[in-house]
Amino acid sequence: MPAPTPAGLVSRANRPNRRGFLQAGILGGLTLPGLLRAEAAAGIRSSTKSVILIYLVGGPPHQDMFDLKPDAPKDIAGPWKPIATRVNGIRICEAFPRLAGLMDKLTIIRSLVGNHDDHDAQQVFHGRHPKKGKPGGGWPQFGSTIARLLGPADPAIPPFVSLCHTCTHGPYNEPGPGFLGVANSPFRPTGPTRDDMVLQGITLRQLAERKTLQVGFDGIRRSLDSSGTLAGMDSFNEQALSLLTSTRFAEALDLSREESRVVDRYGTGDPKVMIDGNGAPRVPQSMLMARRLIEAGARVVTLNYSKWDWHGGTNTEGRKNNSIFLREEEDFPIFDKCVSALVEDLHLRGLDKDCAVVVMGEFGRTPKISSQLGRDHWPQVNCALMFGGGMRHGQVIGATDRIAGEAVARPVVFGEIHATLYRHLGIDTVKTTLPDHTGRPNYLVEDNAQPLPELV
């Protein structure tokens, strides 16, 4: 029989946790302030679990990266050879030797199906097919949902930070907060927003006086506004005050505070150079900045990386031929370096249990290599890479046919990946709903998708 619990204490087995409170709150109508008060009374701290979502803009070539088919005809297999990894039986592209050495810490999904048939970042960021029905305002992306459900873990750090660069091709850009409203938009420290993160000579007393004056004006304006926009702006203002009066967030974004050897390990790129003109910049330092933000207390960080829509093979030096492999020769080694640096960094800093990372694009590439287009768009199957989160790694989920054209084992959908990420953050997607503008409850993932049992 277990030893009795001393008076005034709660046993570890019976101690309430955040997930339990969330479920109870959803079922019992508990508001978020009420939830936070209940957590405080029970001695529960906010979860430190976090997610980094990396979008490979334009659709990476799965059969040249993580699902090589060396026995296929040459016009399908391509020039790359597979190499052995740290896990027996798993082989990946020879251009990824660092990732191969870390395979025991990685999971490759080779059978991601249900991809939209055109360039669109939406499935990556919220897991729902763009052509299926959506509520007024649109579906919120993953980070916005987490901002709404969990709020900030630290008042000085936004719960959701986007490091995504704005692409000139609109569908490449991450979706907004949807029906959750502007209060759940990501904080975007790239561009002019970053200039607003300093006090610029304003004292804390002056800041407090300005806040008092603003509250008075907003009280009048709010009576004329029934859309909820002002309420959202109130949330932004509170967050801005916390950011302005704390240096932690700005320090997390300042890579000059990082050891030079760590910056060198990730590598750097020019954030002003949009790959192929309309893609995202190839900036490995975004992955390091994401780690720093997670370590500072952000719950979700998103970023877009490079441009993977390769048709015809022009590289950034202007070399061109009728294949995509010039671009792969250029991009693959940089990708191998920065992603492996993030994997190692999370483990070295003790973040590998708390921070889950997913790397994916919107679709795969055609098995057959054409002389005009290289590998074209291929929605039939896609791949993804996951690591961290204290999950069971060192495995491959799913399989494709002999030409990497169709999934033949364990098809996975985007909703399952997102359900896995929600579970990691302690959110039950079966019981949790969010109301849209009409008050209708909406589940967090499409078609009742469940977390990947192979991982959790």
Domain assignments of the chain as residue spans, ordered by start = 14-45, 50-199+245-448
- Considering only residues 318 and 356, tell me which one the structure prediction assigns the higher pLDDT: 356
Q: Are strands 364-365 and 377-378 parallel, antiparallel or unpaired?
A: antiparallel
Report the sign of the C-alpha dihedral through residues 86, 388, 98, 113, in that order.
positive
Residue-wise pLDDT tens digits, 380-390:
999 999 999 99
18 token code pair: 């955040």
Q: Exposed, middle or buried by CB within 10 Å (0-12, 13-18, 19+), for 262?
A: middle
Mean pLDDT of 423-449: 96
393-414 average pLDDT score: 98
Cα separations in angstroms, 181 against 192, 253, 426, 435, 437: 22, 26, 23, 12, 9
Stretch 158-167: mean pLDDT: 94
- CA separation, residue 288 to residues 75, 222, 361, 424, 440 (Å): 37, 41, 20, 21, 39
Residue 109's DSSP bridge partners are: 384, 397
Q: Which of 125-129, 250-254, 312-316 has the lowest mean pLDDT?
A: 312-316
Residue 204 DSSP SS3 = helix
Q: Give the pLDDT confidence of 95-141 residue by residue, as tens digits.
A: 999 999 999 999 999 999 999 999 999 999 999 999 998 999 999 99
Instruction: Characterize 176-205 residue by residue with b for buried, 16 or more Cβ atoms within 10 angstroms of its Cβ, and e for exposed.
Output: bbbbbbbbbbbbbbbeeeeeebeeeeeeee
Other Cβ atoms less than 10 A from the Cβ of 396: the count is: 24
Per-residue pLDDT, 243: 62
Check residues 357 and 243 and name the one with the higher pLDDT: 357
The Cα–Cα gap between 310 and 312 comes to 6
pLDDT band at 374 (very low <50, low <70, confident <90, very high): confident
pLDDT band at 48 (very low <50, low <70, confident <90, very high): confident
Is the Cβ–Cβ distance between 57 and 304 less than 8 Å?
A: yes
Q: Please determine, for residue 225, whether its predicted confidence score (pLDDT) is greater than 70.
A: no
Q: Which of 45-54, 67-76, 81-90 has the lowest mean pLDDT?
A: 45-54
Q: In the predicted model, what is the mean pLDDT of residues 141-148?
A: 97
pLDDT at 230: 56
The CATH number of the structural domain formed by 50-199+245-448 is 3.40.720
- Share in percent of the chain as helix, strand, coil (round to 5): 35, 15, 50
CB of 284 within 8 A of CB of 268? yes
| Greatest Cα-to-Cα distance within the chain, rounded to the nearest angstrom | 76
Amino acid symbol at 350: G
Beta-carbon count within 10 A of 325 CB: 20
Q: Contact 369/376 with Cβ under 8 angstroms?
A: no
Check residue 437 and give its pLDDT: 93
pLDDT band at 324 (very low <50, low <70, confident <90, very high): confident
